[in-house]
């Protein structure tokens, strides 16, 4: 993926169905942490999974680290 300086990273919409208990846990987490939203949570979860599975793509690593250190406004690149 090519970095786009000073621009929002491209986004892809994803639709998924969650088990109800997982959705409820996600909703409760977001309600208890106002600096998180469903998009940030999903980005962090996907990046964390990919990183833990050995993905070393710089953009994935950056999203993973941003999620760890709560840096939602920093774009990967």
C-alpha distance across the termini of the chain, in Å: 9
pLDDT (tens digit per residue) in 37-60:
888 898 899 999 999 999 999 999
pTM comes to 0.69
Nearest to 2, CA basis, from 16, 10, 55, 34: 10
pLDDT (tens digit per residue) in 56-76:
999 999 988 888 887 555 544
Angle of helix 38-52 versus helix 58-68 axis, rounded to 10: 120
């Amino acid at each position: 993926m090519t970095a786009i300086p000073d621009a929002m990273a491209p986004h892809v919409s994803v639709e998924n169905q969650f088990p109800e208990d997982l959705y409820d846990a996600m909703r409760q987490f977001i309600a208890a942490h106002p600096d998180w939203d469903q998009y940030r949570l999903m980005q962090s979860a996907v990046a964390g999974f990919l990183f833990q599975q050995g993905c070393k793509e710089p953009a994935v690593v950056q999203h993973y680290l941003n999620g760890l250190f709560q840096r939602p406004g920093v774009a990967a690149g």
